[in-house]
Amino acid sequence: MTITRRTVLASTALAAAPIAEPALAQTASSPAPVQGAASRQAPGFYRYKVGDIEVTAVNDGSAPRPLEGFIRNAELSAVQQAARDAFLPQNTIQNSFTALVLNNGGRLTLIDTGNGDSGAPTTGRWMENFRAAGFDPSQVNTIVISHFHGDHINGMRRKDGTAVFPNAEVLVPATEWAFWMDDARMNQAPENMRGGFLGARRVFSPIAKDVKQYEMDKEIVPGLTSVAAPGHTPGHTAYMLSSGSGKLLILSDTANHPALFVRNPDWSAVFDMDADVARATRRKMLDLAASERAQVAFYHAPFPATGHITKDGDGFRFVPVQWSPAV
């Protein structure tokens, strides 16, 4: 066939013409959910490996605190500027809570246990997330406690007094036990500290004879070594988790929110019982993480609360891990 302008135009017109199709049955579309109808995010757990040890970060929600008064030795304007630089609110700080589950050869170790049913309404998510990660409380072999503040120990025991982890041995820092379980010290404590003493007794007194106290610089479970990190509390403890060439420095409460305390390690959080010792400990731990290029885990950093530390001028900088779909 000879191609002419007329045949080209005719073929173009045919191509543009609508093609008749069988009538489709009308289906009713479902309306989109109302915004805010699902008030929660996906389950808050995140897994990663340290050598042969599988680590699962389990989130327990967060609780807002006023930014004013949160740091005792810095002007509010400086704290607000640090928050602004990190794109955080100027009036509040979200205090997040993330505890760790170590799976080492099928044995489960918890490092701290969250708020349990005793925290703020926006906390208490830990058990839900723990179960979503595929765990059951009866499977826990060991609980390692970093210090006795309620957001770290209350998850061990419900408000009604029942134990949450029926088969777990409990390991605590010897210095922390000596401080918080001393009746004479409790009787001499100021009123604003008495709740801490009473909370420790509520959790530990029913199992006092079975609680095992550990010292510093000891391998307390395979691969996990205690590291003295005093200041936040007298017996506050960090940990080095090691397996093969993998290292994870578990900072506990050595530094609260990285945008504030990693950038400004000499600031003092309102929670620190001995501010001078806590500042020295913070610098020591952050310098160790930077020089060793060890991965770090925080308790109060934004979830999943893990990454790396690099030196940056007179302070440090936190570099979060890149989320990975594979463990």
Q: What angle do CA 92, 248, 50 make, to 5 degrees?
A: 125
The pLDDT tens digits for 119-172 are 888 899 999 999 999 999 999 999 999 999 999 999 999 999 999 999 999 999
Give me the CATH number covering residue 233: 3.60.15.10
CA-closest candidate to residue 255, choices 193, 221, 306: 306
* Range 191-197 contact pairs with CB under 8 angstroms and sequence separation of 24 or more: 195/150, 196/148, 196/149, 196/150
Which positions ≥6 away from 214 have C-beta within 8 Å? 171, 172, 173, 174, 220, 226
Edge-to-edge order in the sheet of strand 295-298: 219-221, 224-228, 237-243, 246-252, 295-298, 306-312, 315-320
- For the question of whether the overall pTM of this predicted structure is more than 0.85, the answer is yes
On whether residue 4 sits in a domain, the answer given is: no
Range of the domain at 212: 42-320
Q: What is the pLDDT of residue 26?
A: 57
Q: What is the pLDDT of residue 36?
A: 64
Residue listed under structure tokens 């578990």: 250
Q: Is 277 exposed, middle or buried (0-12, 13-18, 19+ CB in 10 A)?
A: middle
Structurally, how many domains does the chain consist of?
Answer: 1
Helix (H) or strand (E) holding 188: helix 183-188
Helix (H) or strand (E) holding 12: helix 5-16
What is d(CA 54, CA 133) in angstroms, rounded to the nearest whole number? 12
What is d(CA 98, CA 63) in angstroms, rounded to the nearest whole number? 12
Question: What DSSP character marks residue 259?
Answer: H
Q: Are 100 and 40 in contact (CB under 8 A)?
A: no
Q: Are 232 and 36 in contact (CB under 8 A)?
A: no
On whether residue 214 sits in a domain, the answer given is: yes
| CA distance to 53, 105, 117, per residue, from 111 (Å) | 14, 17, 18
Peptide bond into 302 cis (omega under 30): no
What is d(CA 104, CA 221) in angstroms, rounded to the nearest whole number? 10
Tens-level pLDDT at each residue, the chain (327 residues) = 444 544 444 444 444 444 445 554 555 677 877 776 556 788 899 999 999 999 999 999 999 999 999 999 999 999 999 999 999 999 999 999 999 999 999 999 999 999 999 888 889 999 999 999 999 999 999 999 999 999 999 999 999 999 999 999 999 999 999 999 999 999 999 999 999 999 999 999 999 999 999 999 999 999 999 999 999 999 999 999 999 999 999 999 999 999 999 999 999 999 999 999 999 999 999 999 999 999 999 999 999 999 999 999 999 999 999 988 989
On whether residue 294 sits in a domain, the answer given is: yes
What is d(CA 61, CA 52) in angstroms, rounded to the nearest whole number? 28
On whether residue 6 sits in a domain, the answer given is: no
* CA diameter of the chain: 109
What is d(CA 264, CA 325) in angstroms, rounded to the nearest whole number? 32
What is d(CA 70, CA 49) in angstroms, rounded to the nearest whole number? 34
On whether residue 36 sits in a domain, the answer given is: no
On whether residue 245 sits in a domain, the answer given is: yes
On whether residue 32 sits in a domain, the answer given is: no
Q: What is the pLDDT of residue 120?
A: 85
What is d(CA 44, CA 168) in angstroms, rounded to the nearest whole number? 23
On whether residue 142 sits in a domain, the answer given is: yes
